[in-house]
Amino acid sequence: DVKVTQSSRYLVKRTGEKVFLECVQDMDHENMFWYRQDPGLGLRLIYFSYDVKMKEKGDIPEGYSVSREKKERFSLILESASTNQTSMYLCASSSGGRNQPQHFGDGTRLSIL
């Protein structure tokens, strides 16, 4: 089974801090994704990556950046955390085929105080 591991289930940070969310997958997937999930809004794509060192902006990239130095690891960075970034963050990975499903991690519930 595909395993997508997010480094923390719960995280509390302060406004203005630089926050790193880590995601690792073990299936050699080319594609990795970061979503934000908010009640009533569903999942919104922040950034995705289809190869090492490659990244593309999703629907809501403002205030975020990403890093993919190795194929298995995709990091989401909040440059200067703000309270409106309090949310559930989901990482996903998929192989290259378009009909292939995305496999999700357990999520990180991030609170910015």
Residues near another protein (CB under 8 A) are 30-31, 33, 35, 40-45, 48, 50, 56, 58, 90, 94, 96, 98-107
Burial profile 25-63: b = 16 or more Cβ within 10 angstroms, e = fewer: beeebbbbbbbbeeeeeeeebbbbbeeeeebeebeeeee
Question: Smallest gap, in angstroms, from Cβ of residue 54 to another protein?
Answer: 9
Residue with smaller CB distance to another protein, 81 or 110: 110
**Which residues are 6's β-sheet partners?**
23
Spatial CA neighbour of 74 closest among 82, 66, 65, 64: 66
Question: Smallest gap, in angstroms, from Cβ of residue 15 to another protein?
Answer: 26
Residue with smaller CB distance to another protein, 17 or 61: 61
Residue with smaller CB distance to another protein, 46 or 81: 46
Residue with smaller CB distance to another protein, 17 or 103: 103
Question: Smallest gap, in angstroms, from Cβ of residue 83 to another protein?
Answer: 22
Spatial CA neighbour of 63 closest among 39, 49, 47: 47
**Which residues are 78's β-sheet partners?**
19, 64
Question: Smallest gap, in angstroms, from Cβ of residue 45 to another protein?
Answer: 5
